[in-house]
C-alpha cells in the first residue's frame, strides 16, 4: 500500500503534518499477512493506493460517522461505518481509497498473500470461490454486504492496542487476524444463507462502543441496567441486542468477565489477598467470586495465587 500522493510506505508508524493529521502504520506480521492501520484527516482531497499484488484484502471501517470509498477497477465500493469488505485482487489491478478534505477516516486493512493461501489453506480459496461465485482467474472479486459487525470491530481494536513489535504480541496479533478473517467469512456465509440484518443504528453502535470501553476500564463500578440505559439513551432491548452482537453475551456477563480479567491482573501485579481483590473489582461475595473464577478459568483463585507467588519466589 502506498501513502498519500505516491509516497512509499515502509514498515512502522508514519506521520506527515503537511498532508494529514493523524497516523498511518504498516506492519508485516509474517510472510503471509501485512497490517495497515489508518487514522487520519486529510488536508486535501487525496488518494491512497493499495499494493499491486495477488492478495486478499479485508478492509474494516471503524470510523463511527463516515463511509470509506474504495475504487476497484473504476468501480466504487462504499464501506459504511463499522462495516467491512473483502477484496480478492490480482497484481495488475489498481485499487485505491479516496480521502476527502477534512473528513475523519479510521480503518484497518489486513493484506493476505494469496499464493500462501493456495499452499497452506486451500480450503479458504475454495470457500471464497463458492461465495463469490467466481474464480481467481478473474481480475478481482468483491464482497460487501454493507452491514455493521460489532464483533469484528471489537477485535480490530484489540489488534490495534497491542505492540506488534514484541515477539509474543506478534503471536497474539496473528490470532486476532485469523479471528477477524474467520468472523468476516462467517458473516458472508450467514448473509448468503439468511437475511440477517442488524437493527442497530450507527449512533447506537457508537454508544455501545463507548460503553464497552467504559466497562473495560472501570469494571468495578456498580453498574445497573437502568443506569446504563439512562446514560446511553438505549432501550433495554437495544442494549442487550447490541452486546449479543458485539460480545456474544449479555451486559451482565460482559461486566462479570471484565471483573474477572481485572482480578487476574491484580493477582499478577499486587500483593492484595483474595478478599481485597474481590472488593476491588466491584464484587461483595468472596464465595461467589471463587465460584465464577473457577468456572471460567478451571482453577481456584487461591491455588492460582499460590502458584503465582511460588513462581515469583523461584525467579527472584
CATH number of domain containing 231: 1.10.10.60
- Per-residue confidence (pLDDT) for residue 116, from 0 to 100: 67
pLDDT tens figures, 254-305: 999 999 999 999 998 998 999 999 999 999 999 999 999 999 888 899 988 8
Query: Is 64 in the same domain as 107?
Result: yes
Name the domain boundary from 165, 193, 221: 193
Domain that includes residue 135, residue range = 4-193
151: in domain: yes
In tens digits, the chain (316 residues) has pLDDT values of 444 444 445 555 666 777 888 888 889 888 889 999 999 998 888 887 776 667 788 999 998 888 888 887 777 888 888 888 888 766 566 778 888 899 999 999 998 887 766 555 656 656 665 555 443 334 445 565 567 888 888 899 999 999 998 888 999 999 999 999 888 888 877 765 554 556 678 888 889 989 999 999 999 999 999 999 999 999 999 999 889 888 888 999 999 999 999 999 999 899 899 999 999 999 999 999 999 999 988 889 998 888 887 765 555 5
Name the domain boundary from 161, 193, 225: 193
Q: From the CB of residue 256, how many other CB atoms can be counted at a distance below 10 Å? A: 20
Query: Is 125 in the same domain as 251?
Result: no
198: in domain: no
Query: Is 169 in the same domain as 45?
Result: yes
- Per-residue confidence (pLDDT) for residue 11, from 0 to 100: 56
Whether residue 208 contacts residue 243, with contact meaning beta carbons closer than 8 Å, is answered with yes
Query: Is 236 in the same domain as 139?
Result: no
- 232-238 contact pairs (CB < 8 A, 24+): 232/207, 232/208, 233/207, 234/204, 234/207, 234/208, 238/199, 238/200, 238/204
202: in domain: no
Query: Is 294 in the same domain as 216?
Result: yes
Residue 146 to residue 310: CA distance in whole angstroms:
52
Name the domain boundary from 193, 222, 245: 193
- Per-residue confidence (pLDDT) for residue 8, from 0 to 100: 46
pLDDT tens figures, 12-49: 566 677 788 888 888 988 888 999 999 999 888 888 77
How many domains in the chain?
A: 2
Residue 14 to residue 291: CA distance in whole angstroms:
47
- Per-residue confidence (pLDDT) for residue 130, from 0 to 100: 57
Residue 210 to residue 243: CA distance in whole angstroms:
12
Query: Is 69 in the same domain as 140?
Result: yes
200: in domain: no
Residues 6+ apart with CB under 8 A from 229: 235, 236, 239
- Per-residue confidence (pLDDT) for residue 125, from 0 to 100: 59
Whether residue 44 contacts residue 185, with contact meaning beta carbons closer than 8 Å, is answered with no
Query: Is 224 in the same domain as 176?
Result: no
Query: What is the pTM for the complete model shown?
Result: 0.71
Query: Is 24 in the same domain as 154?
Result: yes
Amino acid at each position: 500500500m502506498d501513502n498519500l500522493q505516491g509516497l512509499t510506505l515502509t514498515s512502522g508508524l508514519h506521520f506527515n503534518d503537511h498532508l494529514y493529521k493523524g497516523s498511518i502504520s504498516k506492519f508485516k506480521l509474517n510472510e503471509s499477512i501485512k497490517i495497515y492501520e489508518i487514522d487520519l484527516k486529510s488536508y486535501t482531497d487525496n488518494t491512497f493506493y493499495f499494493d499491486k499484488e495477488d492478495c486478499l484484502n479485508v478492509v474494516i471501517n471503524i470510523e463511527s460517522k463516515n463511509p470509506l470509498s474504495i475504487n476497484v477497477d473504476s468501480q466504487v465500493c462504499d464501506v459504511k461505518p463499522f462495516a467491512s469488505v473483502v477484496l480478492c485482487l490480482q497484481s495488475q489491478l489498481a485499487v485505491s481509497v479516496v480521502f476527502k478534505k477534512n473528513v475523519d477516516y479510521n480503518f484497518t486493512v489486513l493484506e493476505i498473500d494469496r499464493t500462501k493461501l493456495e499452499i497452506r489453506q486451500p480450503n479458504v480459496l475454495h470457500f471464497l470461490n463458492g461465495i463469490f461465485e467466481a474464480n481467481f482467474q478473474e481480475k478481482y472479486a468483491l464482497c460487501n454486504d454493507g452491514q455493521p459487525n460489532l464483533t469484528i470491530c471489537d477485535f480490530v481494536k484489540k489488534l490495534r492496542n497491542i505492540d506488534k513489535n514484541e515477539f509474543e504480541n506478534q503471536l497474539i496479533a496473528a490470532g486476532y487476524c485469523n479471528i477477524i478473517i474467520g468472523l468476516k467469512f462467517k458473516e458472508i456465509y450467514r448473509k448468503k444463507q439468511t437475511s440477517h440484518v442488524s437493527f442497530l443504528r450507527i449512533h447506537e453502535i457508537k454508544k455501545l462502543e463507548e460503553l464497552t470501553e467504559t466497562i473495560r476500564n472501570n469494571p468495578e463500578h456498580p453498574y445497573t441496567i437502568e443506569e446504563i440505559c439512562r446514560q446511553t439513551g438505549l432501550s433495554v432491548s437495544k442494549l442487550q441486542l447490541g452486546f449479543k452482537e458485539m460480545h456474544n453475551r449479555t451486559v451482565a456477563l460482559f461486566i462479570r468477565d471484565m471483573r474477572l480479567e481485572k482480578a487476574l491482573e491484580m493477582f499478577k501485579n499486587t500483593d492484595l489477598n483474595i478478599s481485597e481483590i474481590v472488593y476491588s473489582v466491584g464484587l461483595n461475595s468472596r464465595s461467589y467470586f471463587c465460584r465464577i473464577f473457577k468456572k471460567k478459568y478451571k482453577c481456584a483463585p487461591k491455588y492460582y495465587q499460590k502458584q503465582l507467588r511460588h513462581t515469583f519466589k523461584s525467579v527472584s
